[in-house]
Each structure stands twice: as C-alpha cells, then as structure tokens.
Amino acid sequence: MPHFYAKKIDHISYPVSKDGFLLSCVARNIKYDNDDLILMRYMDSYFFFMQQNRGDRVLVKYNKHLQYHSINDIKMALQTYMELCNADVLFHNLNTKKNKKSTNSYLLSPNKESISKLYKQSKRISIEIGFGSGRHLLDLAQKNKDIVFLGIEIYNPAISQVLNQIQLLNLDNLYIINADCRILFNILDSHSIDSIYLHFPVPWDKNPQKRVFSREFLKECERILKVGGFLELRSDSKEYFDYAIDISNDFNAFEIHTSINSQTSIISKYEARWQRQNKDIYEAKFILNNFKDFIDIVESNFDFTSVDIHKIINSNDLKLLGDKYFLHIKHIYKFKDGYILFILFGAFNAPSKIYLLVNDNGSIEVLGNIINTQINMQALQLMKKWSK
Ligand SMILES: C[S@@+](CC[C@H](N)C(=O)[O-])C[C@H]1O[C@@H](n2cnc3c(N)ncnc32)[C@H](O)[C@@H]1O
C-alpha cells in the first residue's frame, strides 16, 4: 500500500489545498496518542491517511478502510501531503505512472440506483465474484457482447487492473463494484441475474465461517438468479467443494451438476497455478429450476442527525449486539471542530465500515458506503442508544 517514511514533518494549519486536493483536518485517536487520521478530499471523493511515529521517524500511509481508490490517485494524494508538510522523506513508494487523476464510469457505487443502469442496458446480466486478475471475466465480456457483466471484488489492486483493461479493450459491457458480495447480493433485484461465477474463492479451510459460500449466500443466489440461471463454483479445495454440496442439500431449488477437472474456455490465474501443481479442480453448477416469489427490499437510509456525540464519548460500552447483527464504534478521533468515529456494523460474518464526521456545529457526514441491506439498517438502528 502507498506510504512514506519521513524524518520529520511540519505541522500544517488545516484546511489547506493544493493541486485540487484539500487537506480537511487531522484528528487524533482519543485513546492512543500515536494514531492520527488525516482527511483529504478531492473532486467528489476522499481519502484517509494514518500518521504514526515509529521510533525516530514518522509513517504516513493510506488507510484502506473506505471505498476503492485508484492506486495512482492515492499516490498523488500522498505526494501532495508530503509537499504540504515539507516532509523530510526517508523512503516512499509513490512513483506514479502519469500525472492524471482518474475517473472511471465503469466503476459503480454499491447501491440500487447505479445497478439499475445494468438492468436497462441488457436483459442478460452475469456476475463474477472475486475476479482477481480478471482473466476469466475479461474474456467472458469480450466474447459475449450482448451480456452485461458485473465484477464484484474487495481487493483494490485487482480492481485497478481490471478497470485499466476495460479501457484498453474498449469494453462497454463490463462494470465493477468494490464490495463484499455477501452484502451486495442483498440489494440485487429478485430473479434478475443469469449467471454467477465463483471461481477459486479463498478456501478458509480452518475458518469456514469466513467463506463466501454459506447457507445465506446460496439463499440469496436462489433469490437473485433467474429460473434456468446458474451459480458456477470452481475450487481446488475438496473441503470447500464438499461443504458447498452439503449446504445445497438443504435446498430443493437447484439442479446440481458436478465434475472434476472439466475444461473452461479460459483458465483463471489461480486455476493455472493449481494446474501447475497437478491439483484436481472441482466444479459444481447450481442451476435454478424453481421460481419462488420474493419481496425486494425497498431502499431506506439511516438518519444520523440525532446522534449525540457526548453520550458516545461518555459511554463505557461501544459494542452493541442485535440478534444477527452488531455495531461497534471502534475508534474515536478528535479534531479541532469535532469528532470522527470509525464504525463497524452489520452481519457478524460480513461487517461494513464507515467513518462518521460529527462537527461541533451539529452537522454530520457519513464517509464510506453504506449498502442499504436490511441487516445493515437494523445494525445502524442500534445507534439510537446514543440519540439526543
Ligand atoms: C483466490 S482469489 C481467486 C481470483 C480469481 N477468481 C482466479 O480464479 O484467479 C479470490 C478473490 O476473491 C476476492 N474476494 C474474497 N472475498 C470476497 C468477497 N466477500 N466479495 C468479493 N470478492 C472477494 C479476493 O480479493 C480475491 O481477489
């Protein structure tokens, strides 16, 4: 991740701007002296940097808790900060390829409104979860121009790489969303998706509750797939494969086809790795053969305006539990004009993260994406404990 070490840096009076970047504020963790958060804004986006003393040097690094940013943009933002604070730099990894900030219309926000664009563009929509290098997804998009593809990924460098490829290959039928698929699936329309590819998910053999595949996941696939549509799982982990088949035995909505070492039109980066190691590749195709009527969720928003920051600061329990969800105010930072809260919330196995900027003048700003799923909204209701 982009960062730099400096022998010393000057204090800045905030806010200050340079080259289109606005350094908004620096906030200090109220529990730890050595944990500063710097908020930088540019265009309609924002970055957080962490600043910590490490012995005789200062480390400033990108904080990756929020939504996707291109690596190039992050590097340029850090370079700007480096110059503004006159950093006496010892080391950095901020060489940029071009001096141009990126905008990318193929990167979608994780909300119903931006996804509705896809439903308008094509009658056929296909999803790849965790596309990694994008080899399989890009190949599909090039060969099937009448289908709209949606890649869902949580890893920034993979997203950057595929967004670049979309531009280079001039594709207009491939979109990317930076989100955890386990959360995002909840806001997709019922029976709207033709196919879902889940190729070589992280096996988590020692921690199965962290897997993408679960009973809840398959239930959501049953809801969002069209009848005749399919979920395709490929894995080198026999344990993962058996676990998925085991879960699917509780569902009668799918016809299941399994195979070992079956060929695909394109071999993904991970598949190539396992083939070189002569590992068996297990495939399961879950074809939906049963229509069930589901009620789509209606988007709602949580209103933070009644949050009383003083109640939060004086509270000795910042972890709240619901039935299947939780909310945890993990860190509180103080800046000149207010507080910044770092909040984890949502389902236990797929938490979301946001920062809440609470100004002394009463205004509150949410930094980060809230995917409006039912469980996220229920978790956020727990904030009411600290209402005015
Ligand atoms: C082992 S790699 C496989 C990459 C690619 N499918 C291939 O076959 O080469 C797993 C990928 O899934 C992504 N991933 C893991 N959990 C995810 C989640 N909950 N939602 C979306 N992507 C996820 C990871 O970032 C990683 O890129």
CATH number at residue 203: 3.40.50.150
Please state, in angstroms and rounded to a whole number, the distance separating the CA atoms of residues 375 and 269: 34
Closest ligand 1 atom to Cα of 155: 25
Distance 158 CA to ligand 1 centre (A): 9
pLDDT in tens, 10-25: 999 999 999 899 999 9
Atom 11 of ligand 1, nearest CA residue = 130
Atom 24 of ligand 1, nearest CA residue = 130
Binned at pLDDT 50, 70 and 90, residue 103 comes out as low
Is pLDDT above 80 for 34? Answer: yes
Domain boundary among 288, 323, 350: 288
Residue 104 within a domain = no
What is the length of the chain?
Answer: 388
Task: Give the pairing of strands 148-153 and 193-199.
Answer: unpaired
Please state, in angstroms and rounded to a whole number, the distance separating the CA atoms of residues 388 and 385: 9
Atom 25 of ligand 1, nearest CA residue = 155
- Using only C-alpha atoms, the chain has a radius of gyration, in whole angstroms, of 23
Domain boundary among 58, 92, 126: 92
- Residues with Cβ within 6 A of ligand 1? 129-133, 152-155, 158, 180-182, 199-202, 212, 268-271
Closest ligand 1 atom to Cα of 184: 20
The answer on 179 and 73 residing in a single domain is: no
Distance 88 CA to ligand 1 centre (A): 38
The residue among 296 and 101 whose pLDDT is bigger is 296
Distance 131 CA to ligand 1 centre (A): 6
Distance 200 CA to ligand 1 centre (A): 7
Distance 128 CA to ligand 1 centre (A): 9
The answer on 280 and 330 residing in a single domain is: no
Atom 12 of ligand 1, nearest CA residue = 130
Q: With contact defined as beta carbons under 8 Å apart, do 328 and 345 qualify?
A: yes
Beta strand ranges found along the chain (DSSP E)? 3-6, 16-18, 21-29, 36-42, 45-54, 57-62, 89-92, 107-108, 125-129, 148-153, 174-178, 193-199, 225-235, 254-260, 282-288, 319-321, 325-335, 338-347, 350-359, 364-367
Q: Give the mutation target among 155, 187, 216 for probing the ligand 1 site: most ligand atoms within 8 A of CB.
A: 155
Q: Is 231 exposed, middle or buried (0-12, 13-18, 19+ CB in 10 A)?
A: buried
The answer on 374 and 262 residing in a single domain is: no
Residue 106 within a domain = no
Q: What is the extent of the structural domain holding 241? A: 112-288
Query: In 10 A of CB 251, how many CB atoms?
Result: 16
Binned at pLDDT 50, 70 and 90, residue 377 comes out as very high
Residue 103 within a domain = no
Distance 132 CA to ligand 1 centre (A): 6
Task: Give the pairing of strands 148-153 and 174-178.
Answer: parallel
The neighbouring-strand residues paired with 153 are 178
The answer on 122 and 167 residing in a single domain is: yes
The answer on 279 and 314 residing in a single domain is: no
Closest ligand 1 atom to Cα of 272: 9
The answer on 153 and 65 residing in a single domain is: no
Residue 140 within a domain = yes
Residue 98 within a domain = no
The answer on 196 and 65 residing in a single domain is: no
The answer on 263 and 132 residing in a single domain is: yes
The reported pTM is: 0.91
pLDDT in tens, 229-267: 999 999 999 999 999 999 999 999 999 999 999 988 899
Atom 18 of ligand 1, nearest CA residue = 180
pLDDT in tens, 159-203: 999 999 999 999 999 999 999 999 999 999 999 999 999 999 999
The answer on 350 and 284 residing in a single domain is: no
Q: With contact defined as beta carbons under 8 Å apart, do 376 and 346 qualify?
A: yes
Give the residue from 356, 348, 360 showing the smallest Cα distance to 319: 348
Residue owning tokens 């909840």? 186
Poorest-pLDDT segment among 102-111, 173-182, 248-257, 322-331 = 102-111
Distance 54 CA to ligand 1 centre (A): 33
Distance 182 CA to ligand 1 centre (A): 12
The answer on 199 and 129 residing in a single domain is: yes
Counted domains in the chain: 3
Residue 293 within a domain = no
Angle subtended at Cα 104 by Cα 4 and Cα 108, rounded to the nearest 5 degrees: 105
The answer on 149 and 87 residing in a single domain is: no
Residue 365 within a domain = yes
Please state, in angstroms and rounded to a whole number, the distance separating the CA atoms of residues 75 and 58: 17
Distance 317 CA to ligand 1 centre (A): 35
The answer on 24 and 151 residing in a single domain is: no
**Residue 300, pLDDT score:** 75
Give the residue from 373, 385, 370, 378 showing the smallest Cα distance to 323: 378
Domain boundary among 258, 288, 318: 288
Residue 199 within a domain = yes
